[in-house]
Chain A
Amino acid sequence: MFSYILRRIVGMVPILLVITVIAFLFVHLTPGDPIRIMYGAEIDQETYQQMRAREGFDDPMVVQYGRYMMNMLQGDFGISYRTRSNVSDEIIRRFGYTFVLTVLSMIWALVIGITVGIISATRRNSWMDRTGMVTTITALSIPEFWFGLMIMQIFAVQLGWFPTSGSGTWIHLMLPSLTLGFGVAATIVRFTRSSMLEVLREDYVRTARAKGQSERVVVWSHVLRNALIPVVTMSGLQFGFLIGGAVVVEQVFAWPGLGSYLIDSILNRDYPVIQALILLFSFQFLVINLLVDISYAWLNPQIRYH
């Protein structure tokens, strides 16, 4: 197991290297000029050229990439063009915000998703199952920004229970995390339900029932444990995608995490920030995948890694 994890970690290195190249090319080949976007036509051509030279834009791409890699290997992701803050410090600070938001969203999604999924599967074709399925399809179809603005309108503007946006306290986190977790919860409901239904038809479930175990024990220790394996995979991947959803939700709720940072930096062609974030998100995906694979072994001791 240990050597398996080690091999997986070593295997990440070439992937990340390729990603640095892609990220670098992505930002430098995208049309748009950070200096022009930031200062508009308020600076003259001479100042513009000087600023380009100062940021090293006039050097050949290979030189720029080399410089970027050299700095990065020393842990220096550069200074944001837009806000002149240190990118590494800023990412660490904002990672905290996005992490808390994503984890809480995932908790909502898992609690709601698995509960409704189990109810739907065990009471298949009941009114509860049908209501659950209609709700999940609706939830999957609603765009996050619209849903976010709707619950903001209801719970913040009309009822006044929560602040509309911003950060600083736990209650600031409620609306954005519910918005973000909502769509994922729907996916988890559907996965849990179908996976449960499949397992319920297995021979060992019939055997368990035949030997007289209560339905509660059958569902909780035989069905659920096996049915959860695909749910775990899917949840892990959804966790990665939540970062993508966080881009929209953070924007709507002015949550100062990595998602809003990414939007700002792309619109402003803030190269150091975009590059660092692409690398971070990729790394995050790799780590989540690894954790998902490891969790299989924990959930199902029959799975062994070599």
Chain B
Amino acid sequence: MSSTFRNWTALAMTASLTVTAQSALADNEVVIVIEAEPTSMDPHNTTDSNSATVQNPMFEGLLRFNESMDIVNVLAEDFVYSDDATEITFTLRSGIEFHDGEYFDADVVKQNLDFVRDSDNGLARSSFFSFIDEVIVEDDYTVTIRAEEPNSAMASYMAHSSAAMKSPAVITRKAEDSDYNMDREGAVGTGPYQFVEWRDGVEVSVEPFAGYWDADNAAKVDRIVFRPVQEASTRVNMLQTGEADLVFPIPTLNASQLEGNADVDLYTGPTTDVFYIGLNLEQDKYNDLRVRQAMNHAIDKDALIAQVLDGYGTIADSAIAPNVYGYAEQDIYEYDLSEAQALLADSDQADGFSATLWTRNNTEFVSVAEFVAIQLGELGIDVSVEAFEAGTLFDMLDAGEGTDMYIGRWSPGTGEADYGLRPNFASDRVPPNFNNSGFYRNETVDQLLDSALANPNPEEALDTYAEVQTIIYDDAPWVFLHIPDAIVAKNPNLHGVFVLPSGNVHVSQVELR
């Protein structure tokens, strides 16, 4: 924070407002501004990346992903799969303390996993752990997870932010008293920072935990404050005045303006989001493969990225993004209007047709939709864009009635191929199940997805995922668009931040120097 502002605030505190509580401004405080308020302090009841970002300094799991999405050990010292990939056994670190003084051991792992996966406990992540058949405590510091079926993605699941370990006292209390508000009061983990308070619409703050086990990764600032600010321009302004040390996400337009600013560090990197135009394959007009291929060739992806995203993106060359485990690059549909026109002329829709494109009503989606509509117009497809508020659009797509074309965005929370492909392309995920809103059905794809997941040999599983991606890309059930960049802007004095492609921002190691 700039010293000017800090003095200002200190002055103003003497005339403090009666309706607001004051937060003491620590000397070494880092302010992180996020797009929306977290929904929970419980990693087991969280599916959004804002909440995951806020929880990150407080919680740890057995494993985690590093910057390049590789799996590294945290509370586990080591892990090993059984030969048939039905079991994974973790050796745990000893002497690790939770913020409430409880100790971490194999029983705690079992208690955590058994509680979250019991669907009667109503936690959002219960299905995430449904692959688990049994958690077996071998000794105090050895624990084995046995899967229902061979599952080579178990380590990825356990590296996910929702596989964090909560204090056994919190879980016991929730088990005894169902009214206990674990979402707001249960933020007790083993991380370098401990929970201070959550004021709705204002901030969540955390402070260093003195008993943290890992001296190398201990807290380096006196306080981290997370503030939700929905208006993107305000977020950018806060960074410029020094009221914020780290701000995300930044709209692409603001990012290009900030690029020349020496007082701001801009970080960009590809996300794991794939933008696409979904096609309702139950409509006759999309039956002919040549129609779908023509549509893919008709979109100038480079121009889309340059004009609509101000350059902050890459072309989607598969149904999943390069940072997703299991990704395999495909030959993209090059922009070629004459080839597209030739394909369409040969198809059963030679005269073109008209279509309705559903989009969310935010600027990012609408501008992409309008760009696509114009380009498809040149091909002879008359597209009208209809914008809906996100919640309404989900409802319409899940109902599966009247869907034509829709713009979608998908990122696998687990960072691996199964979650990237199955919800969008498996036959049993058509409406009212999510998220195969275009009714894509392909038995080969279904079988390959199942066999890849069950394959204990990672190399073979990767080959199978590559095969599935080729089939899907060639089948063109989507018009594949782009992968947007994550854009994070920060104070140049702030160090130790890293952004996972999944959109989670890790700030547990931040320092000001």
Cα A7 to Cα B8 in complex, Å, equals: 51
A168 close to B40 (CB less than 8 A) = no
Stretch among A41-49, A216-224, A274-282 lining the B interface: A41-49
List A130-156 residues whose CB lies under 8 Å from chain B.
145, 149, 152-153, 156
Q: Mark B42-66, 1 if CB is under 8 A from A, else 0.
A: 0000011000000000000000000
Cβ of B398 < 8 Å from any Cβ of A? yes
Cβ of B215 < 8 Å from any Cβ of A? no
| Residues in A whose Cβ lies below 8 Å from that of B26 | none
| Residues in B whose Cβ lies below 8 Å from that of A264 | 36-37, 201, 230
Identify A163's interface contact among B8, B16, B228, B396, CB under 8 A.
B8
Cβ of B471 < 8 Å from any Cβ of A? no
Q: A169's closest neighbor in chain B, by CB?
A: B12
Cα A245 to Cα B343 in complex, Å, equals: 53
Cβ of B363 < 8 Å from any Cβ of A? no
Cα A169 to Cα B14 in complex, Å, equals: 9
A43 close to B8 (CB less than 8 A) = no
Cβ of A284 < 8 Å from any Cβ of B? no
Cβ of B508 < 8 Å from any Cβ of A? no
Cα A37 to Cα B181 in complex, Å, equals: 21
B201 close to A166 (CB less than 8 A) = no
Identify A44's interface contact among B130, B233, B237, CB under 8 A.
B130
List A43-68 residues whose CB lies under 8 Å from chain B.
43-47, 50-51, 54
Cβ of A253 < 8 Å from any Cβ of B? yes
Cα A94 to Cα B19 in complex, Å, equals: 9
Cβ of B173 < 8 Å from any Cβ of A? no
How many chain A residues touch the partner (CB < 8 A)? 63
Cα A261 to Cα B127 in complex, Å, equals: 30
A83 close to B234 (CB less than 8 A) = no
| Residues in A whose Cβ lies below 8 Å from that of B122 | 50-51, 54
Q: B395's closest neighbor in chain A, by CB?
A: A31
Cβ of A127 < 8 Å from any Cβ of B? no
Q: Which of B199, B391, B435 has the most CB of A within 10 A?
A: B391
Shortest CB–CB separation between residue B337 and chain A, in angstroms? 34
A32 close to B394 (CB less than 8 A) = yes
Q: Mark A88-116, 1 if CB is under 8 A from B, else 0.
A: 00100110110110000000000000000
Q: B437's closest neighbor in chain A, by CB?
A: A41
Cβ of B243 < 8 Å from any Cβ of A? yes
Shortest CB–CB separation between residue B182 and chain A, in angstroms? 9
A39 close to B124 (CB less than 8 A) = yes
Supply 8 A–B pairs (Cβ within 8 Å), ascending by A.
A32-B395, A40-B434, A82-B37, A83-B184, A160-B241, A256-B201, A267-B391, A269-B391
- Going nearest first, the 4 A-B pairs with the smallest beta carbon separation are A32-B391, A256-B201, A96-B19, A42-B47
